[in-house]
Amino acid sequence: MAEPIWLYQFRLILIGDSTVGKSSLLRRFTDGKFIEYSDPTVGVDFFARLMEVEPGKRVKLQLWDTAGQERFRSITRSYYRNSVGAVLVYDVTNRKSFEHLESWWHEAKQHTMPHNMVFILVGHKIDLASEREVSQEEGQQFARTHDMSYLETSAKNAENVEKAFWQVTREIYELVEMGVINTEEGWEGVKSGMMPRSYSTIPLSAQQDNGGEKKCMCS
């Protein structure tokens, strides 16, 4: 049987105040780039990347980038329900963004029920060491109280970016493997792997005839 290019697809959402660096984190993670003056996100943006969770086992990450501004919040809410993971981001040089974490966390919790959501807390922009307003201990404390992992990152120098996404992906992967989180009809949070090679062996004409539908390993 052909190996799937990915075993699971997880949908993650990035949340936190605007300008904390959510889009920059995603750009660094998916594209390896950093832009000093990036345009603010309008509504919701979408990124994707494969990640190896253990040797030979890949997960496809669908990453939803949200705008932090209040006027976009109603859009954001509709994306929580279909996510299995949330990256909660604040800016270590912006105390307000840290103080707002509690409300972001509550909002996510409220809109994901009855599904399980795996959170990771990310204290971002640590390259700006002299401007720091939130200590590492405070970040750690919030994460401990809310039962989530914690990492400090910089999109500018790429520090811990890979590790942060790996960490949350790995935690979700373990819960899926243990059967704590399951794929569900009508829920986009976790999907089972596609079989691209069996698909590519079907003649193109036949693919067009069946509307280009892909073969799926979904149980």
Name the site residues for ligand GDP (rule: CB under 6 A).
Answer: 18-24, 35-38, 40-41, 68, 124-125, 127-128, 154-156
Cβ distance to Mg ion smaller for residue 63 or 84: 63
Closest distance between ligand GDP and the C-beta of residue 46, in Å?
13
Closest distance between ligand GDP and the C-beta of residue 51, in Å?
20
The tally of CA atoms less than 13 A away on the side-chain side of residue 54 is 7
How far are the Cα atoms of 10, 133, 204 from residue 58, in angstroms, in the given order?
Answer: 11, 37, 27
70 makes contact, choosing from Mg ion, ligand GDP, none, with CB < 5 to 8 Å by partner type, with: none
Q: Binding to Mg ion by residue 41, rule CB under 5 A? A: yes
156 makes contact, choosing from Mg ion, ligand GDP, none, with CB < 5 to 8 Å by partner type, with: ligand GDP
Cβ distance to ligand GDP smaller for residue 69 or 140: 69
Cβ distance to ligand GDP smaller for residue 6 or 165: 165
Cβ distance to ligand GDP smaller for residue 27 or 191: 27
Q: Binding to Mg ion by residue 24, rule CB under 5 A? A: no
Q: Binding to Mg ion by residue 23, rule CB under 5 A? A: yes
Binding site for Mg ion (CB under 5 A): 22-23, 41
